[in-house]
């Protein structure tokens, strides 16, 4: 291990405002919106019911058509550009337009241009519920106290911010540990890690319904990630041994209880963790990493950096 004294950590600091709370409440209202049919042209936020058929050079492709398909304009759940083409269309309208598939789509269609023929069956506008006692009760505030609802939303935001800050700091610390340590990983360990990652990747593809018969993924795809994972594991393990950073029972308990706070019946979740040794071991591993991060930060230069909420949480629109 090298010297961490020259390494720096930029720790984000965020002020949670009433506007952040209001924005979260607005998101919750949209999730519970009712949609009412209208006779006007579709606009962002509307629920549009359509029939569509897509072809590439006149031929169909997998998932190329649907009937009575509903999409909320502006949510970005369709092929990029598809929802924008629906804006301005009234019920009964028909439209044909070209769209190119991005390069990260399935091999059959990626990079190709499809022609989509769309018929608009219905346009419906959202009716958002008011932030009142009924809304509060629907979100788990039994007495319907709106002020309590806002307080709970702020507490949830505060927890999410703390988790995000912790994640950002941890990533920087781990990068610094990797940069400061100089050693070679035994080839047998690396080969075993790569083999495990290959198997996990194939299983993931299989769970998504993709054909995995005779599928082999090149080891080169996993070398970088496997090397990083193994190096960090060995570094963390050695630092824990050298500096007595093993997870303490009270630390593990605190992490579990903090995680359980966001559930309706936190006691049940706590019991769930303690009823299975493997689940408890996962939390212990996280606490062990937290101890290493805290130890390393004591050696590094930590600079608090004022950061806008949306920048930290990745919710700022481009």
User: Would you list the domain boundaries of the chain?
Assistant: 8-18+137-313, 34-127
Are residues 110 and 104 in contact, defined by beta-carbon separation less than 8 angstroms? yes
> Reduced to 3 DSSP states, what percent helix, strand and coil does the chain have, rounded to the nearest 5?
50, 20, 35
What class does CATH assign to 34-127? alpha beta
Q: What angle do helix axes 277-297 and 146-180 make, rounded to 10 degrees?
A: 70
Residue 318 has pLDDT above 50, yes or no: no
pTM of the model: 0.76
CATH number attached to the domain at 8-18+137-313? 1.10.3120.10
What would the pLDDT profile of 215-268 be if each residue is shown by its tens digit? 778 889 999 999 999 999 999 999 999 999 999 999 999 999 988 987 878 999
pLDDT score, position 211: 61
Q: Could you say which DSSP state residue 301 is in? A: E
Q: Among 5-9, 184-188, 209-213, 275-279, which is the least confidently predicted range?
A: 209-213
Among residues 93, 112, 114, which one has the least CA distance to residue 102? Answer: 112
Buried-state track 173-195, b at ≥16 Cβ within 10 A, e below 16: bbebbeebeeeeeeeeebeebbe
Query: Other CB atoms closer than 10 Å to residue 48's CB: what's the count?
Result: 23
Instruction: Please give the sequence-ordered ranges of beta strands (E in DSSP) within the chain, or none if there are none.
Output: 8-13, 34-38, 47-55, 65-72, 94-100, 113-127, 301-306
Among residues 10, 3, 6, 20, which one has the least CA distance to residue 309? Answer: 20
Residue 9, SS3 per DSSP? strand
Place of tokens 């929802």: 83
Residue 212 has pLDDT above 70, yes or no: no
Residue 168 pLDDT class (50, 70, 90 cuts)? very high
Among residues 61, 72, 2, which one has the least CA distance to residue 34? Answer: 72
Burial of 146 (0-12, 13-18, 19+ CB in 10 A): middle
pLDDT score, position 150: 96
Mean per-residue pLDDT of the chain: 92
Query: Other CB atoms closer than 10 Å to residue 125's CB: what's the count?
Result: 16
pLDDT score, position 206: 78
Token pair for 184: 């070679």
Share above pLDDT 90 across residues of the chain, in percent, rounded to a whole number: 78
Q: Do the domains at 8-18+137-313 and 34-127 have one common CATH topology? A: no
What would the pLDDT profile of 38-83 be if each residue is shown by its tens digit? 999 999 999 999 999 999 999 998 889 999 999 999 998 888 899 9
pLDDT score, position 66: 93
């Amino acid at each position: 291990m090298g010297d961490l004294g020259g390494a720096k950590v930029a720790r984000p600091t965020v002020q949670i405002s009433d506007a952040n709370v209001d924005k979260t409440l607005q998101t919750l209202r949209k999730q519970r919106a009712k949609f009412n049919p209208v006779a006007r042209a579709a606009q962002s936020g509307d629920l549009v019911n359509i029939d569509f058929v897509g072809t590439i050079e006149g031929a169909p492709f997998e998932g190329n058509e649907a009937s009575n398909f509903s999409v909320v304009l502006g949510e970005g759940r369709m092929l990029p550009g598809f929802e924008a083409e629906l804006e301005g269309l009234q019920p009964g309208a028909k439209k044909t337009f070209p769209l190119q598939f991005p390069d990260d789509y399935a091999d059959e269609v990626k990079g190709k241009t499809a022609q989509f023929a769309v018929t608009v069956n219905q346009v419906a506008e959202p009716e958002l519920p008011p932030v009142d006692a009924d809304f509060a009760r629907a979100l788990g505030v039994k007495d319907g106290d709106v002020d309590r609802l806002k307080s709970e939303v702020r507490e949830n935001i505060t927890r999410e911010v703390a988790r995000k800050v912790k994640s950002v700091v941890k990533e920087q610390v781990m990068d610094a540990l990797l940069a400061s340590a100089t050693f070679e990983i035994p080839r047998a360990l690396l080969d075993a890690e790569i083999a495990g990652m290959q198997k996990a990747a194939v299983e993931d593809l299989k769970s998504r319904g993709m054909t995995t018969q005779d599928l082999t993924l090149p080891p080169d795809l996993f070398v970088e990630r496997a090397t990083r994972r193994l190096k960090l594991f060995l570094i963390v393990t050695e630092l824990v041994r050298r500096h007595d950073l093993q997870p303490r029972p009270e630390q593990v308990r605190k992490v579990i209880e903090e995680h359980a706070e966001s559930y309706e019946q936190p006691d049940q979740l706590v019991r769930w963790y303690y009823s299975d040794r493997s689940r408890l071991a996962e939390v212990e591993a996280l606490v062990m990493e937290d101890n290493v991060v805290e130890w390393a930060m004591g050696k590094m230069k930590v600079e608090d950096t004022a950061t806008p909420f949306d920048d930290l949480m990745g919710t700022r629109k481009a």
